[in-house]
Structures are given as structure tokens and as C-alpha cells.
Structure 1
Amino acid sequence: MAAGTLAAPAATAAPAAPLGPKVIQTDAPPTGNLVTFRYKAPEGVNAVHIYGDWFYSQPENVNCNDCGDGRPPSQWQPGDIPATPWHLLPLKRGADGVWATSVPLPAGTFRYAFTHDCTNDLATGCTLHHDPANPWQIQPQYPGAPGAVRSTIYVPNNPSFPTYDNAFQAPVKPNKTGKLESRRYTSPLSTNPAGVHDVVVYTPWGYDPNRATPYPTLYLSHGSGDNSIAWTMQGVAHHILENAIADKAAQPMIVVSTDFNGLPGGNQGYANELRNNVIPFVEQNYNVSKRSQDRAFGGFSAGGSRAFTVMYDNTDLFGYHAAWSWGGPAANQAQIDRLKAVPGGIHIGTGLQDRLGNIAQNSLARVAALKAAGVDIKEFNVNGVHTWDVWRQMLNNYLRNVAFRTTTTSLEITTAPAGNSQNLKLTATARVGTVTNGVAFPSGKVEFYAGDNLLGSAKVQNGIATISKNFHRGLLDDGPIVARYQGDKFLNNSQSAPVNAV
């Protein structure tokens, strides 16, 4: 270097883009969002593909299992449903050795994994690798647990390109989320792991182990090929719950995700495990109610099969029952009688294009038969196939419309002469209660009717609503008096038994 000269500063290299997924709002069709995936594969890998549950079809074109349009995300159309089978999409290796691709995705929660040198378009026979930059919070709890470990990404809706209303699945802010725990308990029934078994427990944000009113508990079952981590890591059940709580559509509850693998005795063996081991373990370790009216159950697919066994033959375990994406066997008279006595509610639903074993057709027929037998069923069906897209919607609807929301209304009336003989003073008192003991107390109003005639309404205060008014005797002769509680955000409506006024 010549004397008196300065060396030019070295150019600063731009920082490398981070690994993992990144959601980018593009405001461009078809979905207004683009997700970029960056993945560092091991040395020696010559091809990397991404395998995700994001292929689409119009519902009417799904006329058999794994049938449909099979369009990739870049060809998403309004009215599409996520449909199987899924295919591989290629990644390209950059100069930095990182494999990358960008996928335009609609709103919702998606699972994905990577393959190395896989030549099968459906990833059949290929090992699936999760994204190290985006791992699941909880991993399988024992060696050989079924189910491929993947990664999950949530894509928000772009208002300029509305796709799906899946905001109920959105991840909760870290300072507003509860605690996920992988727990192991003693189980004499379990063969794998021998003598012990596993659950995943979610305690909601603000959980108080010393709360005077014990929490209600929701027990969930996964489907075939999965385990107890499925409902939170794939089904994002904890996000669905916290969003419902934030919307004041559900009250705080404990969620217990069970594992039916390694339990002998089939469906009834699983029910025995719930009764003898799972429920006692949860009640001993968490501040939960021991009343069956404060417990709810739900399961899908093979877990839906177990849900029918729980609902039909172990009805006393839960005050609320749900079975999703399963046709279910016919009920005998004893089972029907038990279902009619369920104090909370029964929720059954399916994806309407679920052709796996004719599940959709069988589910619709089963609900129709139970309703014809006089069983009160809350039916919820959506366009969709045998996928998590359907089961997340099932859980959300269950939480916001059935679980722990049932009320009871009773009515007492008195009448007395008022003025001339054609008038009566009617005092009607409605008492509104909840099936579940929780922190939600009835609010809103009660409407009182004589036949089709509205007599008046009153606000519910401390569980009681009363009207006291004069009526012409002929109006009260139009039919028996009933009280109809209108419900509120937390609680469902209910109606009293009719009471004759005259």
C-alpha cells in the first residue's frame, strides 16, 4: 500500500435470511398471502420437497375417498375445500446451500414436513422430516409412538382476498396463553408403555389451582395413527379454546388429550382407562370438578368410534358428549334411554365429503335415527373430507355452542282476582340454573308466553326472573304458561315445562 493511502472498507454481506417459514402479505391472487419456507438439509441430499395438507378441490368433485380436483395452493379457488391426497412440492437449493420455496396459502393452520430424495409424488414410503426451525412444542412421549412429527404454520386471512374464516385457530399472544404439560400416569391396563400411559394437559391462561370453583374438564381423543400430542400440536385445541374464551363464548376449562394406543380391550378398554385411571389422575393433580356434569368428551375418526362407546355404554362419565367423523353403530333401546338422560348435550358432525368408509353418509343416517328415537342431537356438518381442517371446526363449534353451556329453566306461577272477574293478576317466577358448575352465571332475560302470546319479559338476576301483571282471563286461557330463557354469550337458552294458569 502506498504511503498516505487508505484501504477501502470491505463490503458488508447482507445477513442471511432466517430458516423456517415466513408469512408475507402480498395482496396478490389467489390468496393475498405467500409463505416462504427455508430449510437446511443434511449434506449429500440431492432433492428436497415439502409435503403439506394444502391441496384443494370443489366439494362436488369429491365423489370418492382421495378423489377431487387435486389443485395445488397456487390454483386455490373460492369455495374450495382442503382435500386429499396431498402431493410433494419441490424446493430449490440456493447459493447459500439453503433449500427454499414459496407457497400461496389461504387462511388457516397447516401441517408440513420435508422429504429428502423422495421420488414418490405422494411421499409414499418416504421419511418425513419436521422443520428444525419450527418444531412442535411437545414431541411424542414414548419411542414408537404413532404419527409423523411435522411442523405447523398459521396463516391469517387477508381482508382483500378473503378465503376462510379461521381466526378461531390463531395462535394466542404469549402473555395470554396457558400451559401445556406432557404428563405420565400409572396405568395397570397399559401395554405400551407398560404400566404407565401419557396425556397432554392444557391449563388455560389465568389458571388458579386454588380457585374456589373447580374447573370443568374437556377430554379429547385423537384418531388412528396419532397419539396424545395430536389435538394440540396438529389440532391447535389450546388456541381454539383461548380464542373462544377471549370472545366470551366459552369459560376457562382444563383440556386433557388422551392416548388410546397400547390399551387392550378396544373401545371399552379405552373407556375403562378413562374411568379407572385418566379421570382419577386429572382430578388428583388439577383443580377440576369431580361431577360428571362438569366433564365433556370429544373424539374424531377412530376416536369418534370410541366416543360412541363412551356415549352409548359409559354415559355416566360425562355430562357432554361429541363424536366426529364416524358413522357410529345403531343404538339399542337401553342406549337410547341413556342418551335421552344426558344432562348437558350431544354433538355429532362430519365433513360432508368424507368418503372414507362412507363416513359422511353413515353419520347423517345415524343422527337421523337418533333424532327419530327422541334423542336431542346438536348436529354440525361442514364441507370437507377426513382432515384436521374439519376437526378443528368441530371442536370450535362444540366449545361455542354445546360444551358446558346447558341451562335449565323452571317456572312457578300464582294467580289472583284483579278487579272484575275477567281479569287475573299473574305472578310468574322463572329460575334459571346451569348444568355445569363454573364461573358463568345466567344473564340476559326470560320471556313468558301463554301459547303464542308474549306476556312479558324480565332480566335474570341471581338466577331469577319475575313478572307480575294483570291479564284478561281469556288471554291466559290460550295455552299453558312457559318461561323461555334467551341465553347469553356463555350459556344456551332453555325452556320450562308448561304450567297451566287457570
Structure 2
Amino acid sequence: MPVARPRLLLTPPTRRLALALLTAVTVAAGALAAPAASAAQAEPLGPTVTRTDQPPTGYSVTFRYQAPDTVQQVHIYGDWWYSDPANIPCQDCGDARPPAEWQPGDVAATPWHTQAMQKGADGVWTFTTPLPAGTFRYAFTHDCTNELATGCTLHDDPANRWQIQPQYPGAPGAVRSTIYVPESRKFPTYDTGYQAPVARMGTLESRRYTSPLSTNPRGVHDIVVYTPYGYDPNRATPYPTLYLSHGGGDHSTAWTMQGVAHLILENAIQDGVVQPMVIVSTDFNGLPGGNEGYVNELRNNVFPFVEENYNVSARPEDRAFAGFSAGGSRAYTIMYNHTSLFGYHAAWSAGGPNATQAQIDRMKAVAGGIMIGTGLQDRLGNIADASQRNAAALRAAGVELDEFNVPGVHTWHVWRPLLNHYLRTLVFRATTTGLDVEAEPAGASHNTKVTATATLATVSTSVADPSGKVDFYTGDTYLGSAPIIGGIARLKTVVHGPLDTPVVARYEGDRLFNGSQSAAVDAR
């Protein structure tokens, strides 16, 4: 990807951020004045992010685009229209306010609109707008009179085109240019630092594998694979794998191009809250058989290819799945009917069918965890209400799950934070706590000597071990705590009187692993 040439003097931290961006941007301090451009030094094409320290967002972006000379008018078509969440009674409804009118509490709403660009004396079309923090998509239209760009051809930004393009003709998804804007301390908007570009990146690649099931392309199919920074193909401990599904109208590039899943992962790794993992972004287009056909593709073709070509584990406990919208429907099919393929499941922005008792029983046995989430203003098929009703029904049936919903509609501004939550709170973080209790009389007194030994283990394969401490209880009585050393926490104590209630060990968790507790052990 091209890196923008700096136009302003940058401080070292800002320079590092600018060089790390995957989009062609320059982040500049608004207090610094740009030197006058000489005739020999043309302004760069592509987007430039500038810190303005001005309301409403503290940042602005200038887009410079070279259209053919025959084009009479260029509009920019961007993912940055806003609404008060209380004013979204239906999908594609809302206040439709441009970024210049952004207000605190707004959610990014649909539909997108076009905004006119201006042609300069140099023949380059420009447009400047304030933008809040986050990742945005945009494209350009030529001589398009429709405000929603309906029926108009969308053109990528050639100075900022996504690095991986579809491998087959007719692949869906027309907007393949993105921009990231940091948050202003003076005018805070959204906490989206977890999406920020990072200096140390792994490898992003598109792979084609043999697929007897695929009808488009026939006999082969595509995935996008991200191996994290520092990935070691010879590491003794294989990596866990996160499999992602896009929604309708997208394909295998969606989760990294639009969803910036690889950046969300690297930020979480950098924060020390997840272990490195491989991401596989799949493509359900051209696969017959609907949801079940997609499951067959995973089982028969995708898993074998990934496990043969990358140093990843073949254990189900070391696989996680997540999908949104149409991919969320596939997530429910996997979660309900093919539960044992994955240790972790997530279904987002999808209503979900009612579960049978057999499906509920399978979900209760999930080794890792289940997440359900949606945008709270998602009115597409009344998804917001349906998702929350289904989560409540599953909980009432005894299924443990993590429900996490965020303000927003049916957009990537919802799915990015859902993925971030999934990574930081659930994926490959599950533990088990075993307990052995020995009790014997404490001499002539009627007290009891108790030795409680808790054994901590990770559900998923990991190069790290759980750390911290384990708390021990008998009934509601706290017996004490013991540090975890080599996966073991051992407490020796004296209970006044007989040990007449079972002992339970509770692990509180650490930055990488979630807590767990033992079954009650009665040592009488």
C-alpha cells in the first residue's frame, strides 16, 4: 500500500502513526502551518487526515481524486452519515446528518449519501470534511445525479485501494477504499483505538484452495488468511484459528478490508489480552446448499487446507467462529447443529431460530463459550429485537452465553466492536478448575485439617498458563487463597469443627484467561 508523503512537519509519535497506516494518509498537528506548495511539488492524491482541534470532531479529512478529463462532476460516497439513535424507526431511516453536523451520542446510520467534490486548477477533485474517530469506507461517482448513488458506478480511490482484490469476476463488494481517523482528546467522539493501524503487522494473503463444492469459481474457492506478527510456522505449539463469515453482498476480503479484523487482533495482542491466532475469512458465495452447504465446505475443504498449510491446531477447542447478518445465520446453524466443530461461537446481527432441546443440550456442552450481539437500532427485519429475544430464550433454557449489544444499525460500525469484544472477553480464554480435597482431624481438638489442591488448565491450546490466584470456599465461608504455580494452587488450612459443607475452588482469571470454578468437593 502506498504511504502518503508528509505535507506537514510531524512529531515523532505522529510520524510513526502515519507510517503505520494501511491507508494513504498523513496525520498532522493542526497548530502547524503547511508550507506553501511549490509548482514542482504537487499535492499528493488520496486522503489526508489532519488534526484541527476544532469542533465537532477535532479531525478532518481531505480527499484528492483524479478523474478522467471527460467527467463533469465527481461526488464522494462515504460511510459517515449520522443520526440520533432515538430517530431511527426503520432501516435506512434517521436524521441523515453529514459529519459536519455530528453530535455526541450519534450512531452511524444508513443509507450513505453523496457529497459534491470541487475541481481545482490542477484538475484534481477535492473534498474536506470533519470525521469522528473510526474506520470509514468511501468511493467516488462520475456524473451521478442520484443522491444515494443508486444505479451509479462506484470507483475505488486508486491512491488508496485495498491491497487484496477479489480473485474472481463478479465478486460482490464495490467499496474497497478505507480511511482511519484517530480520536481527538479535545473533542472525543468514539473509543475506536482498538481499530488503529499498528507498526508491527503480520501477513495478509488471499489463498485459493480446491473445492469440489464450489460453483463460482468452479472447482476452487478463496479465503483470506492473516498470520499474526511473529507467526512461527515451526512453533511447537500450534496456533488457534478464528474463522469469520461475511454478510450478504460481501466476500472473503470483507473482514479485513472493511472489518479491519487483523488490526483489531493486533491491538488486542499488543494490549496483552489475547494470544496470537490465525484469522481465516471465508467466502460463502458460489457454494450450493445454503447454510448446510457452507458447513460442508468448512469441514471438507477449508479446515483441511488451512491445517495443512498453516501451523494451526486441528482440535475443535482451538477453533472459534463468528459471522454477521447472513454469516450470523450460518453461525446459528453451526452453533445449533454442528456445535462440536468449534469451541467458541458468535452470531451477530441475526435473529436466530428457536432452539430445540437437543440443540440446547449441545450448546450447554460448548467447551469455550457463546456470544450473541447486535446493533441496538438494527431495524433490518427487526434484527435488534429478534437477536435479544433469542439470547433471552437461550439463557432461560440454561445456555451460558455472553450477550453484548452496541448502539448502531446494520453496519461495520457495529461489527467491529462486536469482534473486539469477542476477542478480548471470550475467544480462546476459557479455563477449567479441578479440585482435590483432603481432610483429617486436627489432633485432640474437633477442628479439621484441610488440604485443597486446585488444578488450572486452559480449554484451548496455549503457550501461556493461567496466572493469579485461586480462592477457596466451604459453603459461604472463605477459607483462603493460594497462588497458581505451575498450574497448581494449593491451600492448607484448619477449619474450626468438622468440614460439613463441600469445598469449591474459584479462579478469578487474568489478562489472558477467564475465570472458572470447580465442582463442589465433599471430603467428609
Q: Normalising by structure 2, what TM-score?
A: 0.92
- Report the equivalent of 1:108: 134
- Report the equivalent of 1:392: 416
Indicate whether 1:86 and 2:112 are aligned. yes
Q: Give the superposition deviation at 1:420.
A: 3.6
- Report the equivalent of 1:6: none
Indicate whether 1:404 and 2:389 are aligned. no
- Report the equivalent of 2:345: 321
CA distance in 2, matches of 1:54, 1:324: 22
Q: Is the 2:294–2:330 contact (alpha carbons within 8 Å) kept by the matching residues of 1?
A: yes
- Report the equivalent of 1:335: 359
> What SS class does the counterpart of residue 470 from structure 2 fall into?
strand
- Report the equivalent of 1:493: 515
CA RMSD of aligned residues (A): 1.1
2:295 corresponds, among 263, 271, 294, to 271
- Report the equivalent of 2:383: 359
Q: Give the superposition deviation at 1:229.
A: 0.3
- Counterpart of 1:228, as a letter, is S
Indicate whether 1:161 and 2:187 are aligned. yes
Indicate whether 1:138 and 2:164 are aligned. yes
Indicate whether 1:455 and 2:468 are aligned. no
Q: Is the 1:292–1:318 contact (alpha carbons within 8 Å) kept by the matching residues of 2?
A: yes
- Report the equivalent of 2:457: 433
2:213 corresponds, among 164, 172, 189, to 189
- Counterpart of 2:152, as a letter, is C
- Counterpart of 2:314, as a letter, is K
- Report the equivalent of 2:90: 64
- Report the equivalent of 2:400: 376
Stretch moving more, 420-429 or 183-192: 420-429
CA distance in 1, matches of 2:245, 2:143: 35
1:259 corresponds, among 275, 283, 287, to 283
- Report the equivalent of 2:41: 15
2:123 corresponds, among 83, 87, 97, to 97
Q: Alignment identity in percent?
A: 71
Q: Give the superposition deviation at 1:87.
A: 0.8
> What SS class does the counterpart of residue 473 from structure 1 fall into?
coil
CA distance in 2, matches of 1:92, 1:449: 70
CA distance in 2, matches of 1:119, 1:87: 11
> What SS class does the counterpart of residue 306 from structure 1 fall into?
helix
CA distance in 2, matches of 1:286, 1:355: 40
- Report the equivalent of 2:6: none
Q: Is the 1:139–1:149 contact (alpha carbons within 8 Å) kept by the matching residues of 2?
A: no
> What SS class does the counterpart of residue 321 from structure 2 fall into?
strand
> What SS class does the counterpart of residue 223 from structure 1 fall into?
coil
Residues paired across the two proteins, number: 488
- Structure 1: state its 5+ residue gaps: 1-10
Matched ranges for 1:49-60 at <5 A: 49-60=75-86
Indicate whether 1:204 and 2:228 are aligned. yes
Classify 1:276/1:12 alpha carbon distance in 2 versus 1 (closer, same or farther; 3 Å).
closer
CA distance in 1, matches of 2:495, 2:308: 56
Classify 1:206/1:498 alpha carbon distance in 2 versus 1 (closer, same or farther; 3 Å).
same
- Counterpart of 2:288, as a letter, is P
- Report the equivalent of 2:99: 73
CA distance in 1, matches of 2:179, 2:166: 19
1:231 corresponds, among 242, 248, 255, to 255
Classify 1:184/1:12 alpha carbon distance in 2 versus 1 (closer, same or farther; 3 Å).
closer
- Counterpart of 1:404, as a letter, is F
> What SS class does the counterpart of residue 135 from structure 1 fall into?
coil
CA distance in 2, matches of 1:448, 1:258: 44
CA distance in 2, matches of 1:265, 1:431: 45
- Structure 2: state its 5+ residue gaps: 1-36
CA distance in 2, matches of 1:439, 1:243: 19
- Report the equivalent of 1:418: 442
2:52 corresponds, among 12, 26, 33, to 26
CA distance in 2, matches of 1:298, 1:423: 52
CA distance in 2, matches of 1:220, 1:195: 22
Q: Is the 1:202–1:255 contact (alpha carbons within 8 Å) kept by the matching residues of 2?
A: yes
Stretches of 4+ moved more than 2 A in 1? 11-14, 419-422
Q: Give the superposition deviation at 1:63.
A: 1.6
- Counterpart of 2:359, as a letter, is Q
